[in-house]
Structure 1
Amino acid sequence: MSFRQAVRKLCKELANPASLQTKPFNSLPNAGKLIELGGHTRTKSRLEMLQWIFLSGQAAFIVGACSSTSMAEDVSTASSSKNATSTDDFSGLLKVEDESVKSNEHTSKWRVFTDNGREYFLKASSFGNIPQAERFFLSALQEAKQGFGERDPHVASACNNLAELYRVSKDFDKAEPLYVEAVNILEEYFGVNDVRVGAALHNLGHFYLGQRKLEKARVCYERALKIKRRVLGEAHTEYADTMYHLGTVLYLQGKEKDAEYLILDSIDIMEAGGHGESISCVRRMQHLAQIYNKSNRFPEAENILRKILHMMELSKGWKSLDTVVIAERLALTLEAAGKLKEAVELLERCLDARKNLRHHEHIQTAADMLHIARMKILITKELPEANNSQAMAELDKSRSLLNDSVRIARKLIDRFLEQKEKTERFGGSQRTRKDGHSAVVILLQSLNALGALEIMEQGFLSSQTQEHIKAEANASLRQCISTFQELRSEQSISDSLETKAEYLSCLRSLYLSIRKGAARQAGEEKEIQEEIRQVEDEISNARKT
């Protein structure tokens, strides 16, 4: 029996529905002292005997899931928690209405305010309607309290919606007490084991995960998981969703193996239920591939990414950017695994696809060109010495790719500098800085690679031609350095560790090239050496802080 199977069997044996009557969230004991296992509480010494069972505690990546929306739904006709489930319209919807509540003026107003608030909220990312959504949600909360009472599920629904709005708008101090209040009201009204309580706990855990309050997130997700397992069953997608998020928390806490089991089980449940090709399942698979890549488990990452790419090819084809992005990630994994030729072929196909999608001057196009050129250079180094003509042909292709990458990156930098003032005025500077930073890094990397390529070419040429090529190499490296100096005033870019590391690499390459030159200039050599020391100190100090 595999470890995962043993874990499942043991958790089922330990499950005791009666023991699921846990205390309200605010009265939970310190989770670091006790671990809850399938409904029973065990000490850590007992836990070690059970091989750290996966329900003991638990990351967008990604963590990209932390940006999803969890709005509370309007009303449900289900009065029993045994039959109540969250809908698929939004992640973690709260279905809270009691059938005994008759429609009245407050009910109508509450519904109107809630629907309008939700509509403005969902449009907020593109139209900036957060203030209008807040006004409607506050009105919905007021109507719920006046029409149904302070501790009614409608109030919990309104609290949850308002909390979600504050989370998205980064007003976290206002969001947390509203999430907690929603949980407490639902616990009082429906009991601590109701699925609506599980949905609210999932939302609260989602909030804590985004805040990197990992231990609080772990407790919320574990409680939500036990409720959903009891009410919905282990084959339900909502159970799998909470399981995945719990795995995400565990990963961020450094418990990689436990996180992996949870994420794998979450994917298995989705696939068994016929949701293996859904967006949420694909994202989980990508997250798992990222975990494998980070731990240098490249064959496992490759298998997952190949599976995703196959699904994308069948469902969307190569005319979809989604397919191209997955293929690029697979190429990077192949490169890390040393499968350079296969990685080059895949990236070349991605490059062609991007051009067909009219992404000729996108920064990712420049990045693909850079990666292909770099790998071609590495492949050329492995060619037998007798294949000089083939080597020179490959290097010529690499030079062409690098020149195109430099051209695209420089054009994007110029565009960034032109638009900076305008975007800052209208609040879009963060995205603009990110694009500008990426373009600078790609430009420095491309110029550095171009210098390395031209130095490499010297081994295939006559001594007279070598000096000319060396001068070209130095010119590329000097251009790399002058680009960084030009952008020193853009501190958000020049102070980046990644940018400084590329700048330092260019400095070192130029320094070595000058030292090997026939006509050495002592003054310039010393100046570059001092600059190298200064940048090394800046990088070292930044890493310490």
Structure 2
Amino acid sequence: MFFRQAAANLFKRLRNSAPFPTKNWSSMPNAGELRFSGQHNFGGHTWSSNCRQALKWVFLHGQTVTILGISSVTALAEDVSIESSSKNATNEAEITGLREIEDGSVISNVHTSKWRVFTDKGREYFMQGKLEQAERFFLSAIQEAKEGFGERDPHVAAACNNLAELYRVKKAFDKAEPLYVEAIDILEEFFGRDDIRVGAALHNLGQFYLVQRKLEKARVCYERSLKIKRRVLGEAHPDYADTIYHLGTVLYLQGKEDSEDLILDSIRILEDGGQGESILCIRRLQYLAQIYTKSNRFTDAEILLRKILHIVELLKGWKSLDTVVAAERLALTLQSVGQLREAAVLLQRCLDARKVLLPEEHIQNAANMLHIARLKMLNSSQLRKTNSSQAMDELDLAKDLLGNSIRIARKVLIRHMKPEENEEFTVVSRKAGKDGHVAMMILLQSLNALGMLEMTKLEIQESREEHQVEADSALRQCISVFKEFGSVRYLSDHPEVKAEYLSCLRHLSNLMISHMKTNKNSLEELNDEIKHVEVEISKSRRREI
């Protein structure tokens, strides 16, 4: 209860405007009454029964999309997960969940029957991540709709929208955009500009632009969609909350001040609707906590992260990795504000839980060890002035943890690669690619931390020359690791990997200048490499923008 009360303080800034008045569907162009499975209250009005030519809403986790279908009723589905195997340049998506609610429509003729079969089969393959098969069925659905209902029929719009969503997932953006636009044009022509189906299609187009970071176009789509959903569904509806959340995300990326208020609004709507403990609400709380962390508002982030941990711990206990991850996020935030003792307890509990839930040499265990090692290094720094012996003990414990982290990360990298005829390493699978990227980051970070640890020992015990040698060795291993696995482009091309590599190079340069008898040519070569990596990182960041 304490966590809930503490988190509630964040929401005092929420707008207290009254719900937007909701109009009756009968006042809308070509609209009948709306029937749901059960009764739902929107803006103070309870609606039920029969809306012809409505749509089927299916929400997908992540950047939420709507797969449209023409049916005799409107059905709303909860957010469920879609996981993509990689955030980078892949042309496939591995979809692990999609929940569809039956609309109960009656097949009226052979064209409707064929259209529905093509649409349903396309969705089925889309859900399974079989995008080539799904594409064929969605194309057939478009053709059947045009032949059976006419070029400007809502069946065509729904089929176009579905195919556009598939092309968006495949990153075939040039094919997707005309289909989105055509779907919206047909729906506006058939139902009117303010119809809820137009709002859903605009939301999808906003998602399409958001993926490409075309933020201004995304903002316009979301604002139009939001206006429609406010009038039709009311401000208490979870679908209104979904669009307002994504609009808030766009505004945040644009640097607009009111972005956080919109994200908070979306969370409040879910909580008021009894979904405060849902996965969707937790994800939005996590995103807001990340925003606070990036802006160094660690106290605000701490409140949200405590709330998240409290919810997940009650729901799943410590036999769930979700709880472990939530606890680790809180621990790292506590570490940032200097609450090292509580952070240490949480991180150790996370490691103990992971050792039970995961194989001993899983990369998450290596990451957890790295976090604890860094914490011990911070403890050592605080102890140096008062107890140098205890400070050294903390560093020794950290060194053992880093050694294990390095060992595991290297094994994971090697295990998920295999020799090829023309390459030293290649990607075995998409999962291997993701694990390999994480392992590369953990390995570089652990070696970098080990180098800094030895440099700290050198400062505490200036006469121990072996610390110079060990620091130099650890930092040079960063270079050899980057070169060794750099033949796999996805490992070395990530800006964050290059940034960690750059950090190693800079630390090695400082060590060579301050503590070692350095060959001038070697130092010049190292500085040239630093400049080269800095340029590459700058180019990567410009491409992302």
Question: TM-score with structure 1 length normalisation?
Answer: 0.78
Answer yes or no: is the 8 Å Cα contact 1:412–1:439 preserved in 2: yes
Deviations 1:245-292 (A, max 9, x none): 11111111111x211111101100100000111121111111111111
Paired position in structure 2 for 1:320:
320
Change (3 A) 1:503 1:4: closer
Paired position in structure 2 for 1:110:
115
Paired position in structure 2 for 1:73:
69
Q: Please tell me whether residue 202 in structure 1 is matched to residue 203 in structure 2.
A: yes
- After superposition, residues 38-187 of structure 1 pair within 5 angstroms as 65-66=62-63, 68-77=64-73, 86-88=76-78, 103-124=108-129, 129-187=130-188
- After superposition, residues 41-440 of structure 1 pair within 5 angstroms as 65-66=62-63, 68-77=64-73, 86-88=76-78, 103-124=108-129, 129-255=130-256, 257-383=257-383, 385=385, 387-418=387-418, 432-440=432-440
The alpha carbon displacement at 1:476 in A equals 2.8
Deviations 1:490-521 (A, max 9, x none): 4544455444444444444445545565xx64
Paired position in structure 2 for 1:30:
none
More helix by share: 1
Question: TM-score with structure 2 length normalisation?
Answer: 0.78
Q: Secondary structure at the match of 1:316?
A: helix
The alpha carbon displacement at 1:407 in A equals 0.4
Q: Please tell me whether residue 467 in structure 1 is matched to residue 465 in structure 2.
A: yes
Answer yes or no: is the 8 Å Cα contact 1:423–1:429 preserved in 2: no
CA distance in 1, matches of 2:474, 2:325: 30
CA distance in 2, matches of 1:487, 1:147: 56
Q: Secondary structure at the match of 1:5?
A: coil
Change (3 A) 1:292 1:97: same
CA distance in 1, matches of 2:455, 2:427: 44
CA distance in 2, matches of 1:213, 1:469: 50
Change (3 A) 1:295 1:393: same
Change (3 A) 1:73 1:320: farther
Aligned partner of 1:112: which letter?
V
Deviations 1:442-462 (A, max 9, x none): 223222322332343356669
CA distance in 1, matches of 2:420, 2:333: 35
Deviations 1:369-428 (A, max 9, x none): 112111211111212655344333322211110110110111122224426779999986
The alpha carbon displacement at 1:224 in A equals 1.2
Paired position in structure 2 for 1:454:
454
CA distance in 1, matches of 2:28, 2:61: 32
CA distance in 2, matches of 1:138, 1:423: 39
Between stretches 329-338 and 404-413, larger displacement belongs to 329-338
Aligned partner of 2:15: which letter?
Q
Change (3 A) 1:97 1:313: closer
Answer yes or no: is the 8 Å Cα contact 1:94–1:199 preserved in 2: no
Answer yes or no: is the 8 Å Cα contact 1:86–1:196 preserved in 2: no
- After superposition, residues 492-511 of structure 1 pair within 5 angstroms as 492-494=490-492, 496-511=494-509
Answer yes or no: is the 8 Å Cα contact 2:157–2:182 preserved in 1: yes
Aligned partner of 1:244: which letter?
Y
- After superposition, residues 478-493 of structure 1 pair within 5 angstroms as 478-493=476-491
The count of corresponding residues between Structure 1 and Structure 2 is 482
Paired position in structure 1 for 2:522:
528
CA distance in 2, matches of 1:539, 1:89: 41
Change (3 A) 1:85 1:509: closer
Change (3 A) 1:503 1:177: closer
CA distance in 2, matches of 1:381, 1:388: 9
CA distance in 2, matches of 1:312, 1:93: 23
Aligned partner of 1:446: which letter?
S
Q: Secondary structure at the match of 2:68?
A: coil
Answer yes or no: is the 8 Å Cα contact 2:416–2:427 preserved in 1: no
Answer yes or no: is the 8 Å Cα contact 1:507–1:528 preserved in 2: no
The alpha carbon displacement at 1:190 in A equals 1.8
Deviations 1:200-221 (A, max 9, x none): 1111211121122222211111
Q: Secondary structure at the match of 1:528?
A: helix
CA distance in 2, matches of 1:318, 1:467: 45
Answer yes or no: is the 8 Å Cα contact 1:341–1:379 preserved in 2: no
CA distance in 1, matches of 2:508, 2:423: 36
Q: Percent identity?
A: 58
CA distance in 1, matches of 2:395, 2:103: 69
Change (3 A) 1:267 1:500: closer
